[in-house]
Amino acid sequence: MKLTTSYFGCRILRHVKRDMQRLDRLGFARVVHTFSENDLFYFPETMRDIVSASHDAGLEVQLDPWGVGGIFGGEAFSRWILDEPDLMQRGASGRPLGAACLNHPRVQELVREWTLAAARTGADWIFWDEPHWSFKGPRNPAGEYCVCEHCRRVARAQAEAPGSSLPIGDDLACAPRAAVDRFRALSVIYLLGGLTRFAADQGLKSSICVLPHGTMDQPSISWAELASLPGVGEFGTDPYWQAFGFTRPDERDRFIDENARAAKAAAKQAGSETMLWIQAFRVPAAGEDDLLEGAERLVGHAPDAVAIWAFEACAHMSALACENPRRIWRRLVNLLGRELGR
C-alpha cells in the first residue's frame, strides 16, 4: 500500500525540500502536488524544482490540475474563464455557471497545454482530480446545467449516433433529466479520454479520482469506463464521509464500503490500481475518533494506495485546517504506518 499525501500552499523551495524529506522519513511513497492555473502562469519553473526536490527525497510525484477551469476539484480560481468568458457553462436562464464547459473545444486545448507544462516539470503522473460539472451552490443557486451551443451540438451528435438510446429531443434545455445526466456523464468520459491519451503521449501516467457516487449533483458516471481509458494506471475516489454529511457510524461505514468496493471493482476490471482518499481537512476535534474509525475501515479495503488530503491536516490553510491539525495528522500517520508495517 503506497502512502500518499497532497501538498500545496508553499512555493518556497527550501521549505518544500524539508517537507518532502520529512514525508519520506514518515513512510510516504508519493506526493500529489497541486498545479493550479496560478502555478501554470506564475510558477512553472518553480514547480519543476519542486518536483525535482520531491524525487530527490525518494517520492513519486503526481500533479493535480487543481481547480483548473473550475472543472477539477480545488480551492483555486480559473483565469481562463475570465480571459475567455465564452468558455463558461451557461444555464437555460442564460446565467454563466462559474466554470468552463467540458464540451467546449477550447477546454480540451487548454488542458492539453496545462498537460504539456505538467510534463515539463518531470512529474510521473497526472492526478485527474474530481472532474465535475458546475453544481448547485453560490455560483449556481438554482442548480442549472449547461445548455451552451457546444453542449447542444454534442448532445445532438450523441442522440443521432447509430445505436444511441439517448432521448434528448430537439431542445437540451427541455430534455428528460435522466437523458441529460447520461449526456453529461458521457461528456466527462469523452473529455478525460482525450486528456489521458494525450498525457500518455507525453510519457505521463494517469490517475483518475472521481467524486463518490451521488454527491455534488453529478451525473452517475460509469467508473468502469473511466478506469479503462487509455493511459489510466490508477483509479479511485475520495469518500470524505464527514464532508459529505454521513455522520452516523452506520451511514459512514456504508458510504465507505460502497465507494471503496465500486472503485476497486472498476480498477480491477480495467487492470489498474486503486487509490482511496482520507479527509484531513475541516475535521473538528470532536470528529477525530470518527475519522480514525472510518480511516481504519477504508484501509481495510486494501487499496493499492491510500492518500491523505492534505499535508499536516491543512494546518497552513485556514479555510481547510482541521481544528487540531497536529494531533489528527499524527494519529493518521501512526494508523497508516501501522498498516504499512503489517
Q: How far is the CB of 70 from Zn ion (least distance, A)?
A: 12
Site map 322..341 versus Zn ion, x via CB under 5 A: --------------------
The residue among 36 and 103 lying less far from Zn ion, judged by its C-beta, is: 103
Number of residues that bind Zn ion (CB under 5 A): 5
Question: Does 151 help bind Zn ion (rule: CB under 5 A)?
Answer: yes
Select the span of 103-111, 126-134, 202-210, 306-314 touching Zn ion (CB under 5 A): 103-111
Q: How far is the CB of 110 from Zn ion (least distance, A)?
A: 15
CA 310 – CA 316 distance, rounded (Å): 10
The verdict on whether omega for the bond into residue 310 sits within 30 degrees of 0, i.e. cis, is: yes
The residue among 89 and 196 lying less far from Zn ion, judged by its C-beta, is: 89
Contact 167, 176 (CB under 8 A): yes
Question: Does 191 help bind Zn ion (rule: CB under 5 A)?
Answer: no
Question: Does 186 help bind Zn ion (rule: CB under 5 A)?
Answer: no
How open is the CA angle 255-256-262, to the nearest 5 degrees? 90
- Write out the binding residues for Zn ion, residues 83-102 only, by CB under 5 A: 101
Select the span of 12-20, 58-66, 142-150, 208-216 touching Zn ion (CB under 5 A): 142-150
CA 33 – CA 31 distance, rounded (Å): 6
Instruction: Fill in the amino acid letter for 194.
Output: G
Sign of CA dihedral 232, 311, 263, 192: negative
The residue among 144 and 312 lying less far from Zn ion, judged by its C-beta, is: 144
Candidate residues 87, 146, 185, 315; the one interacting with Zn ion per rule CB under 5 A: 146
Q: How far is the CB of 103 from Zn ion (least distance, A)?
A: 5
DSSP state, 218?
-
What is the DSSP code string of 220-263? ---HHHHHTSTTEEEEEE---TTTTT--SHHHHHHHHHHHHHHH
Phi-psi label, residue 99: left if phi above 0, alpha if psi -120 to 50, beta otherwise: beta
Question: Does 148 help bind Zn ion (rule: CB under 5 A)?
Answer: yes
Query: Closest Cα partner for 279 from 315, 307, 249?
Result: 307
Class of residue 338 by CB neighbours under 10 A (exposed 0-12, middle 13-18, buried 19+): exposed
Question: Does 20 help bind Zn ion (rule: CB under 5 A)?
Answer: no
Question: Does 229 help bind Zn ion (rule: CB under 5 A)?
Answer: no
Instruction: Fill in the amino acid letter for 165.
Output: S
Q: How far is the CB of 21 from Zn ion (least distance, A)?
A: 45
The residue among 151 and 195 lying less far from Zn ion, judged by its C-beta, is: 151
Question: Does 107 help bind Zn ion (rule: CB under 5 A)?
Answer: no
Residue 227, C-alpha cell as written in the block = 478506469
Select the span of 8-16, 54-62, 145-153, 282-290 touching Zn ion (CB under 5 A): 145-153
Q: How far is the CB of 22 from Zn ion (least distance, A)?
A: 43
Using CB under 5 A as the criterion, which residues of the chain lie in contact with Zn ion when the complex forms? 101, 103, 146, 148, 151
